[in-house]
A and B are shown apart, each in its own frame.
Chain A
């Protein structure tokens, strides 16, 4: 939890926990309007050196626009962008110590792989011999050394993506912006590449800002992530924090799946709250307090994997609700249960498939008890 991590001594790998740390990229109240449409709305964000920061959000939420302002292709309507202590707001893209990997790769179609990667170094007047060496090194790093002479149209999607990555890394930028870097890859290649990307980022120590609309990818890659919606940054935090402690219904639903119960606050103590929820068919007990007036309408979010299923009543008075299994979907590593609670509400529960063979597996139409612990729920006030 955020308060908890603040209380700890500042972790050098987590500079954002240290109030004295200087951010490397500082986005100050940046707004971008296209005519009268606001694509990015008063976004403020601090990103620290060597972070791998993921910007997550639905289509049209303003991720690419924010990235394009960092790269210098769009000028903010208002606000400032400061990178490594320098105000970059009005610096043209070719003078920024930043490189970008584009959503569509944007390789130069008339140049070979080698020439594509060398292009940026040539612009800086790097000596020929150095260019050749650095290009070769970089192509080896992305495992494209044997394709140096090919043209982009002779490469597969995954290979193009590697060339684009090499081209954006070869100038050793202070900051690398990646717009949906793995968008074109199939699931398996995508997962492999995610880990490679993380390895490369750690090896080179470059600060990465990665845009994605794939929440799993963001969770895997990032040191911290920011969730965007309608041009706003809704929440920023470590993947674990965002998953376990979403601050709003939007974040809870956007990252992973979640069961939401409406209810009325009946007990509001510093160390716990009780919520009467006809929706859930029981009293919800959450063991961390919230700061709000009593009798307020709230929502409680509970992740599907935190709910236990049992044939017998688990013996607790709160956080238990009876229902009937509606459907079971076998996913290999886990099974997803759709359960109709006696209140009429449908909820989703996941269970890992620990054993290959279950003596008495739960069956559809079977009545079950759903229960969860006091630390499993999150109270959302919005």
Chain B
């Protein structure tokens, strides 16, 4: 009985995973196809990867995407941490509830709308202030920071909510000024959450197509944008190879994120046990 149940569970799980990963596996396999015709298998060859490395357009887009993802994730961690900290640690201030909701709004806002709104803002700003000049890396980074920051703020806020504020009070009580408490106590304790937030931001930014399409200008295409425009001309093994490499980058991010989340979970459990013993 038990055994039958576990086999049927296995079958279910396999089906689910197949559903999720079969398309990706197909694409990865086809990226090693020697033939230029995507659907005709003519033998194994890594040559499309070699060709990718010759393609200046793709290399340029990859560089832009990595740079934007790195800078956006880093800025988002700083700003998101401050927002998350303010929302969970400052005493009740006016509009706190509204702000808490608003911080996470970009997570559920349709990307098309966010992109359009940002584009309109940049155009208006350029007209009024003369900055940012045109659309390119700066506008891409600003846009990516806005939605990445929301992820970080949510992660940090939930971590701080779990963390007992009494620990910070203990540091104040021992003579540490609020800024020192933040650096010595709060930051180390939320560090895993910051790493999570950074990785999440990096992958989300690296992946983003819709918002980027709105706010980037000519000559500043990100990798997803390049793939998308190439696919419109027909799927080529080269695109498959490129997409496979993107999956590798994002995959590394996801693995690190998961590993870090597990660590965070263990830490939380430990704190809970400690708190239970202390009360």
Contacts and interface: CB of A to CB of B under 8 A. Distances in A.
Given A106-B164, A109-B271, A110-B188, A123 B173 contact: no
Given A153-B270, A160-B277, A108 B171 contact: yes
Contact of B279 (A95, A100, A104, A124): A104
Given A104-B278, A108-B185, A110-B189, A94 B166 contact: no
Contacts of A168: 173
Interface string B241-279: 000000000000000000000000001001101110111
A93 B169 contact: yes
B279 A103 contact: yes
A119 interface: yes
A184 interface: yes
A105 interface: yes
A100 B174 CA distance: 8
Interface string B171-183: 1111111101000
Most buried by A among B185, B271, B274: B274
A75 B184 CA distance: 25
Contacts of B173: 71-73, 93-94, 98-100, 168
B170 interface: yes
Contacts of A106: 164, 166-167, 169-170
Given A106-B169, A152-B274, A94 B189 contact: no
A120 interface: yes
Give the interface residue-count category, chain B: 20 to 34
A107 B174 CA distance: 12
Interface string A108-121: 11100000000110
B172 to A, nearest CB: 5
Contacts of A92: 172
B131 to A, nearest CB: 41
A146 to B, nearest CB: 20
Residue with the greatest number of chain A CB neighbours at <10 A, chosen from B167, B188, B267: B167
Interface string A62-83: 0000000001110000000000
Interface string B33-50: 000000000000000000
B169 A94 contact: no
Dominant secondary structure at the B interface: helix
Contacts of A120: 174-175
A304 interface: no
Nearest to B167: A106
Nearest to B168: A106
Contacts of B273: 153
A103 B275 CA distance: 10
A167 interface: yes
Interface string B149-165: 00000000000000010
A264 B178 CA distance: 61
B174 A119 contact: yes
A109 B274 contact: yes
B272 to A, nearest CB: 11
Contacts of B274: 107, 109, 152-153, 160
Contacts of B171: 108, 119
Nearest to B185: A108
A183 interface: yes
B176 A184 contact: no
A81 to B, nearest CB: 15
Nearest to B271: A109
Nearest to B274: A153
Nearest to B166: A106
Given A108-B167, A109-B271, A94 B172 contact: yes
A334 B248 CA distance: 75
Given A109-B271, A152-B274, A184-B277, A104 B166 contact: yes
Nearest to B92: A35
B89 to A, nearest CB: 13
A93 B174 CA distance: 8
Interface string A348-376: 00000000000000000000000000000
B260 to A, nearest CB: 16
A147 interface: no
A123 B271 CA distance: 25
A99 to B, nearest CB: 6
B270 A109 contact: yes
Given A94-B175, A120-B175, A124-B175, A102 B170 contact: yes
Given A73-B169, A106-B166, A106-B167, A94 B278 contact: no
Most chain B CB atoms below 10 A, which of A71, A104, A167: A104
A281 interface: no
B277 A157 contact: yes
A102 B274 CA distance: 14
Given A108-B167, A108-B170, A108-B185, A157 B278 contact: yes
Interface of A: 71-73, 92-95, 98-100, 102-110, 119-120, 123-124, 152-153, 156-157, 160, 167-168, 171, 183-184
Given A104-B164, A109-B189, 17 more contacts: A71-B173, A73-B169, A93-B169, A99-B174, A100-B170, A102-B169, A103-B278, A103-B279, A104-B278, A107-B167, A108-B170, A108-B171, A119-B174, A119-B184, A123-B180, A124-B175, A153-B273
Instruction: Give me the 5 closest cross-chain CB pairs, A-B, nearest first.
Output: A120-B174, A123-B175, A106-B170, A104-B278, A106-B166
10 contacts: A73-B173, A93-B173, A104-B279, A106-B169, A109-B274, A119-B176, A123-B176, A123-B180, A153-B274, A171-B174
